[in-house]
Amino acid sequence: LFAGPVEFLKGVVAMQGLPSADRAEVCFAGRSNVGKSSLINTLTGRKALARASNTPGRTQEVNYFTLGESHYLVDLPGYGYAEAPVAVVAKWQALLKSYLQGRSTLRRAFVLIDARHGVKAVDEEILTLLDKSAVTFQAVLTKADKIGARDRDKVLEQVRAALQKHPAAYPELVMTSSETGDGIATLRAIIAGIS
């Protein structure tokens, strides 16, 4: 699906460090523990790819991966760490804002939502920032294997209702599981189709 290497490129801590804007890129955001690293690993078919972004010191970086030569996949730091120092959060927020508002090749953000929990207050901040930045975002439900069919309908309804308040929200949701591989091919195809 992606011609060329799928690999970790670099961690970026400031706008000047971004690779040249020469291809379409998508970013992944989600509260910590939502299953973002697992999803990126499964999506890329590279088991330890996103682990780099979870190693200490890397957690506040914007991590770039190549999806062949056509796309960048950008792993944004997980949010909602209760223990993160105020100064670290402030610095990160500033970079996030500059990135979302200033990256001309950013085509879509995928916001990961735990299928067991739906959209939480902690997610609203990034959704609002995406609205303000006019970055289209698509909700990706994670850990779908952890819920049954009935809860699935309930959470989909909750997420759809929450997204209605967000002008930048893309209407289509994707339900995924890194455990079973559900929805992974769909998500891969969605990204490949973005240019």
Residues that bind ligand GDP (CB under 6 A): 30, 32-38, 54, 78, 142-143, 145-146, 177-179
Of the pair 39, 190, the CB lying nearest ligand GDP is at 39
Return the residue matching tokens 């078919």: 45
Of the pair 37, 44, the CB lying nearest ligand GDP is at 37
Minimum gap (Å) between residue 108 Cβ and ligand GDP: 19
Pick the closest to residue 166 from 104, 123, 116, 107 (CA basis): 123
Pick the closest to residue 110 from 141, 81, 152 (CA basis): 141
Is 38 in contact with 84 (CB distance < 8 Å)? Answer: no
Of the pair 3, 121, the CB lying nearest ligand GDP is at 121
Of the pair 24, 52, the CB lying nearest ligand GDP is at 52
Minimum gap (Å) between residue 43 Cβ and ligand GDP: 11
Minimum gap (Å) between residue 28 Cβ and ligand GDP: 9
Cα–Cα distance, 143 to 133 (Å, whole number): 28
Of the pair 39, 106, the CB lying nearest ligand GDP is at 39
Cα–Cα distance, 66 to 87 (Å, whole number): 30
Minimum gap (Å) between residue 65 Cβ and ligand GDP: 14
Minimum gap (Å) between residue 115 Cβ and ligand GDP: 9
Pick the closest to residue 173 from 68, 49, 70, 182 (CA basis): 182
The secondary structure of 163-181 as a DSSP string is HTT-TTB-S--EE--TTT-
